[in-house]
Amino acid sequence: MLFLLLACAGPDGGDTGTALEPTLANVQAEVFTPSCAFSSCHGGDGGGASDLDLSDGTAHAEIVGVEAVDAPGEILVVAGDSASSYLVKKCAAQAGIVGEPMPDGDADGLDAERLALLKAWIDAGAQDD
């Protein structure tokens, strides 16, 4: 089992001072819940953007191996391959994405530390842990 540890930033972008294992639980706590999973974006009320629910307990099934609604042919999370994962492209504000970078309202995308955690989780196999 791969035990990759990395420093991660808290929701405000500041260093938390702790090393986080790249698990879905940590990605949920550090990325999805504070930046994505609320009703106006990708929350659990069924009215989220692109019908995507990144709430705790549903995010894995919504993104791993799932085609992006707004970018046909693109897979949101390709387990083991963050470079091919459309969610990473959106969160890194890469050229060629459809619409705006995520999180919404941030033209630069997700901060570097939280993006690194997301990529590490995907590269480690995007397990539902």
Domain ranges in the chain are 24-123
pLDDT tens for the 129 residues of the chain, in order: 233 333 333 444 444 445 699 999 999 999 988 877 666 777 776 556 678 888 899 999 999 999 999 999 999 999 999 999 999 999 999 999 999 998 877 778 899 999 999 999 999 999 999
Q: What is the pTM of this model?
A: 0.80
Residue 15 to residues 7, 23, 69, Cα–Cα distance (Å): 7, 18, 33
Tell me the CB-side half-sphere exposure of residue 43, using CA atoms within 13 A: 8
pLDDT at res. 33: 82
Nearest 5°: phi and psi at 113?
Answer: -65, -45
Distance separating alpha carbons of residues 77 and 29, to the nearest angstrom: 18
